[in-house]
A = this chain, B = another copy of it.
Amino acid sequence: MNKKNVKRRNAEATRKAILESARKRFALAGYDGAGLREIAAGADVTAMMVNRYFGSKEQLFAEVLDHVMEKPFILTPEALGSPNLARSTASALVAITNKQEEPLDGFSVMLHSASNKKAAQIARLKVEQGRQKSLSDALQGPLAAERAAILLSIVAGVQVMRQTIGITPLAEADPDDLVNLLTPVFDKLING
């Protein structure tokens, strides 16, 4: 019997390794800041493998966004039924934006790539297809889509300011204080 899906030197594993390295680098440095050689080195291959497996840097970026967007770290549709959603959302956001944490989410990728027009357009597309839509579907009441978008904006804003830029006192503040301040804000948007 002949096996068709034979993996020599494990092509599938290499592809995954590149994708994972790209996610990390894009999240840290954005589309422009992450070089192909750097991404490839993170996957223990040479830069040419990237183009072999993904065609171009742009296509790689799009695929990375697909992956990071499909599992939201916060405000998941399932969690939207919870009674203390506003507070749990606030505390998840504060926890994740701790400095030492690796920025592992689509927001980092998107925000750090906002200055590049092509990358920003790809990111917008992916956000609209992914999180934004499922979130606004789950929210109740009038102007659900707008409220969802503002919610995402606040999450994004806090993440950049706290984690990337590291604004004082956001970066050094007592996490509990931040949660207490953010909770009523989120509550306004979730419950109206």
Contacts and interface: CB of A to CB of B under 8 A. Distances in A.
Interface stretch (A3-11, A39-47, A75-83, A151-159): A151-159
Contacts of A153: 154, 157-158, 160-162, 167, 170
B145 A169 contact: yes
Interface in A143-191: 143, 145-147, 149-150, 152-158, 160-162, 164-170, 173, 177-178, 181-182, 184-185, 188-189
A177 B143 contact: yes
Contacts of A181: 143, 146-147, 150, 189
A26 B114 CA distance: 12
A110 interface: yes
Nearest to A133: B168
Interface of A is mostly: helix
Interface stretch (A12-20, A51-59, A66-74, A115-123): A115-123
A85 interface: no
Number of copies: 2
A173 B156 CA distance: 19
Interface string A27-67: 01110110000000000000000000000000000000000
A146 B178 contact: yes
Contacts of A147: 181
Contacts of A112: 114-115
B33 A177 contact: no
Interface in A109-142: 110-116, 120, 123-124, 127-128, 132
